[in-house]
Structure 1
Amino acid sequence: MPQHVSENKIGQSLSALVLFVLLTSCHSFDNAQSDASFNASTQPFPTQVAPFDNYKEQVFNYLSANRSFVGTDKSAEISMNMPFECGISVNDKGLFLVHGLGDSPYFFRELAATLCEKGLRVRVMLLPGHGSKPGDMLSVSYEQWQAETDFQLEQFASTVEQLYVGGFSTGANLTTISAFERNDINGMIHFSPAFKSRFFVSKLAPYIDTLYPWPNVEEEDNPSRYNSTAMPGFAAYQESVNALARLFDDNDVKKASLDVPVLMVVAEKDSVVDTQHVAKRFKENFTNDKKCLLWQGEEAPDVFVDNPSMSGQLLMQSMNLPEERISAASHMSSLFSDRNSLYGTQSTFRICDNGQDGELEALCKQGKEGKEDKAGEDVWYGPWGYEDENANRVYARLTYNPYFDVMIDKIVAFTGDESAGNFCTP
């Protein structure tokens, strides 16, 4: 943006943008008001409950009473959205995980099961407002999410000798903020950490959440997450970004950095997160020598270019995989293998709401794995909004990680005794 553009001009542009969004969202808001799924439950979400078995029982009762089911297998849907733990006989080493905005503990099911088989204990919590119905996001707040993350992390910390903490997207923000208040964390493992949004307008969310509760209302067909997210949810996410920025940018050097080993998995073309900003935080604010940025893309982050001091801290994984019809990794793809029953290659579930025009989206829904659709193109996979030189190419969201098994090996090495030079290598 040219430096001579006045603040008044910027303010006018933002006001026009907000007005446009408000005017064009009336239909979605009306639809939301008429659907019980978009109204908040009267029963409060269970928080600050311990021990973990009691917490699970109360969450199960809450979901059973308040979930708006998207399919016929109600038991399976509740199970997918439940907090869980595996490897409970292990007490020497454990990983505590927090999911992202609109998501559920299911996002860690496969990862956790694999890590528990390899000798870790893993526990995953459920953020308030999640797992039941989109309407329950109307009453959430950052403060609530942070307090619950801190509480559940404290409960888990007492069960293991070596504590590892991590999260996906918003969950990475919450657990990183928690880490500033603790001195017992042996390492952090983050997947698509949402330290900064790609969309400047997200900064407005905390100021318009009561005026504009539903920025988008979509058909709910995914048993593992919401397709629609209320503005208070976006506001809570943005407040986590703001809180983290205050910690990272504090003038007190002790607060400006975390001397904790870290492993981050980041999709270069992530449509949600400013990945160059994440890489900058990785370089400047995570100061322990044992760290690795697992970068799924074709070009190294800017902070690594001509920076030999960071040698051995970057592991590149190409996502230009035409043999699998993959063009780039997505925000969510790192957490699932191609064997995943919902998001893997054998699943019939496909996310076609991918930022393309209606005709291409319809072709995506019609397309079958391995067969040509009406446009003469197979369905390809990438992040939301991905575009390439093939203007007629039909895209669905990439929902699995071609390097899932390699990622698991790196996590196991990271939580073991391997030095940075050994676990952050091809």
Structure 2
Amino acid sequence: MFLRISFLLVALVLLSSCAMPPDSPRFQPSGSLPRHDQPSFDEYVRDTHAWIADNRAFIGDDRHREIALNAPFERRPDTPEKRGILFVHGLGSSPWYFTDMANAMAEDGWLVRSILLPGHGSRPADLMLPAHEDWEDAVAHHTQLLANEVDELWLGGFSTGGNLVTAQALKDDRVEGLLLFSPGFYPDSQYLFLAPAISYFWDWLDIDDEDNIATYQSLPSRGAALYYRSVSAVQKNLEAEHFDKPVLMTMSQHDSVLDPAATLDAFQTRFPNPKSRFVWYGDTPPHLDDPRITALTSYLPERRISNFSHMNVLFAPENPYYGEAGSYTMLENGQEDLTPPDDPDALWFSAWGQQDPEKYHARLTWNPYFDELLDDIREVTGD
């Protein structure tokens, strides 16, 4: 999603001047946040659609598509819903990140909802507007709305969203289990604690071209500070208690944002339910004796995949935007000394920052094991 936060924080400490954004609406806050406390989910979706239409700094000509890829949504099953799950996206991403999973789970009989965290869906500068409490309140409110409609309530989250739903579940006995994808419990940075202080002096950590309609490419320092708040909250909660109910957790060994080993250790020590599962994409971890952990190789040369990224786990290969033949390719991937090949069939795919002088690596944005992941979800949830 973004360049590594640790690198950016260190760079700002060493630099004497801040990053200056271009004169563009994308780098100027819109001045308001959408409501998230409507009494019904339908009203919330309708109001948020309208707010995005009024406040988004659009990237392309297809405004309806951009709104759809950033707005909250719901998928209802054909049969009367008894089980429901609320999904929460990560820093800079969007509710649409769960579209493939939502479609599959609705077919399995789930009522699925995916919400928009305040500060998202419009322009990167809007991450300067929310407080961490706004994110917590949005998750709590929509957990309550979904609990009113279903007999069995689950929460799911990606990255920062994984922190928020875990913190909610640890204080909410109604939550029956968690689905956590690259949860952001443990950042790969010893400097993240600096983010709140830096946000008082510098507005931006990273400024990039905004050409991705589903993800912010640029990061205000306030956004990093909000992530730090979510890390502090969930780590404090996990240190105080276990989560004894079922959880599915995924992690790439080569995640460029997080500490995969610390996450694996947390799963083994803080999530003891025997039904829980951890899917590790990479080499088999050493001294692995927990039968709840599955290791799947992330080196798939027949598909030109060197390893898995922070984000790719959520997307089916058939996804029309991020999929194997999707319309968007993340070419900017931390390889400043290399030039992307003219032939797209010569691209390889990986986590951010993969270095190989003979191969250009774009970001991997789809999961070759997506169907297997759905089976893991069914096993953990008892489908």
| Structures share fold, TM-score greater than 0.5 | yes
Task: Give the share of equivalent positions with the same residue, in percent.
Answer: 34
Q: Give the conservation status (yes or no) of the 8 Å contact 1:367–1:379.
A: no
Change (3 A) 1:136 1:393: same
Q: Give the conservation status (yes or no) of the 8 Å contact 2:248–2:277.
A: yes
Q: Secondary structure at the match of 2:179?
A: strand
Q: Which 10-residue stretch deviates more, 58-67 or 348-357?
A: 348-357
Question: What does residue range 277-288 of structure 1 map to in structure 2 within 5 Å?
Answer: 277-288=262-273
Question: What does residue range 253-268 of structure 1 map to in structure 2 within 5 Å?
Answer: 256-268=241-253
Change (3 A) 1:22 1:401: farther
Q: Give the conservation status (yes or no) of the 8 Å contact 2:81–2:109.
A: no
Residue in 1 that maps onto 2:160: 170
Q: Give the conservation status (yes or no) of the 8 Å contact 2:250–2:279.
A: yes
For 1:167 and 1:22, the matched residues in 2 are separated by 37
Matched residue count: 375
CA positional deviation for 1:50? 2.0
Decide which of 344, 349, 352 is 1:381's aligned counterpart: 349
For 2:102 and 2:121, the matched residues in 1 are separated by 18
CA positional deviation for 1:22? 4.6
Question: What does residue range 318-397 of structure 1 map to in structure 2 within 5 Å?
Answer: 318-357=297-336, 359-360=337-338, 363-364=339-340, 366-370=341-345, 378-387=346-355, 390-397=356-363
Change (3 A) 1:321 1:16: closer
For 2:134 and 2:119, the matched residues in 1 are separated by 10
1:315 aligns with 2:294: yes
Amino acid corresponding to residue 298 of structure 1 in structure 2: D
Q: Give the conservation status (yes or no) of the 8 Å contact 2:331–2:361.
A: yes
For 2:374 and 2:292, the matched residues in 1 are separated by 17
Deviations 1:168-212 (A, max 9, x none): 000000000001111122211010001011122222111111211
Question: What does residue range 233-272 of structure 1 map to in structure 2 within 5 Å?
Answer: 233-250=223-240, 256-272=241-257
Amino acid corresponding to residue 322 of structure 2 in structure 1: Y
1:59 aligns with 2:48: yes
For 1:290 and 1:348, the matched residues in 2 are separated by 38
1:218 aligns with 2:208: yes
1:41 aligns with 2:16: no
For 2:16 and 2:298, the matched residues in 1 are separated by 37
Deviations 1:104-161 (A, max 9, x none): 0110011101111122111111000000111111112212111111111111111111
Q: Secondary structure at the match of 1:276?
A: helix
What TM-score, normalized to structure 2? 0.94
Q: Which 10-residue stretch deviates more, 268-277 or 197-206?
A: 197-206
1:20 aligns with 2:14: yes
Change (3 A) 1:93 1:193: same
Residue in 2 that maps onto 1:4: none
Q: Give the conservation status (yes or no) of the 8 Å contact 2:246–2:381.
A: no
Q: Secondary structure at the match of 2:205?
A: coil
Amino acid corresponding to residue 204 of structure 1 in structure 2: L
Q: Which 10-residue stretch deviates more, 88-97 or 46-55?
A: 88-97
Q: Secondary structure at the match of 2:69?
A: helix
Amino acid corresponding to residue 185 of structure 1 in structure 2: V
Q: Which 10-residue stretch deviates more, 263-272 or 408-417?
A: 408-417
Q: Secondary structure at the match of 1:316?
A: strand
Amino acid corresponding to residue 380 of structure 2 in structure 1: F
Larger radius of gyration: 1
Q: Secondary structure at the match of 2:44?
A: helix
Residue in 2 that maps onto 1:299: 284
1:50 aligns with 2:39: yes
Amino acid corresponding to residue 125 of structure 1 in structure 2: I
CA positional deviation for 1:18? 4.0
CA positional deviation for 1:369? 2.7
For 2:134 and 2:306, the matched residues in 1 are separated by 38
For 2:327 and 2:51, the matched residues in 1 are separated by 30
Q: Which has the higher helix share?
A: 1
Residue in 1 that maps onto 2:4: none
Q: Secondary structure at the match of 1:249?
A: helix
Deviations 1:383-426 (A, max 9, x none): 00123xx4232110000000001111211222226xxxxxxxxx
1:409 aligns with 2:375: yes
Q: Give runs of ≥4 in structure 1 deviating > 6 Å.
A: none
1:179 aligns with 2:169: yes
For 1:78 and 1:259, the matched residues in 2 are separated by 38
Q: Give the conservation status (yes or no) of the 8 Å contact 2:157–2:179.
A: yes
Q: Give the conservation status (yes or no) of the 8 Å contact 1:381–1:396.
A: yes
Question: What does residue range 94-113 of structure 1 map to in structure 2 within 5 Å?
Answer: 94-113=84-103
CA positional deviation for 1:368? 3.0
Deviations 1:38-66 (A, max 9, x none): 11112332121220011111101110100
For 2:99 and 2:11, the matched residues in 1 are separated by 39
Change (3 A) 1:90 1:224: farther
Amino acid corresponding to residue 59 of structure 1 in structure 2: T
For 1:333 and 1:53, the matched residues in 2 are separated by 29
For 2:272 and 2:10, the matched residues in 1 are separated by 42
Q: Note the residue ranges of structure 2 that are not aligned, 5 or more in a row.
A: 1-7
Amino acid corresponding to residue 19 of structure 1 in structure 2: V
Residue in 1 that maps onto 2:72: 83
Change (3 A) 1:20 1:116: same
Residue in 2 that maps onto 1:6: none
1:147 aligns with 2:115: no
What TM-score, normalized to structure 1? 0.85
What's the Cα RMSD here? 1.8
Decide which of 345, 365, 373 is 1:399's aligned counterpart: 365
Q: Give the conservation status (yes or no) of the 8 Å contact 1:22–1:212.
A: no
Change (3 A) 1:183 1:337: same
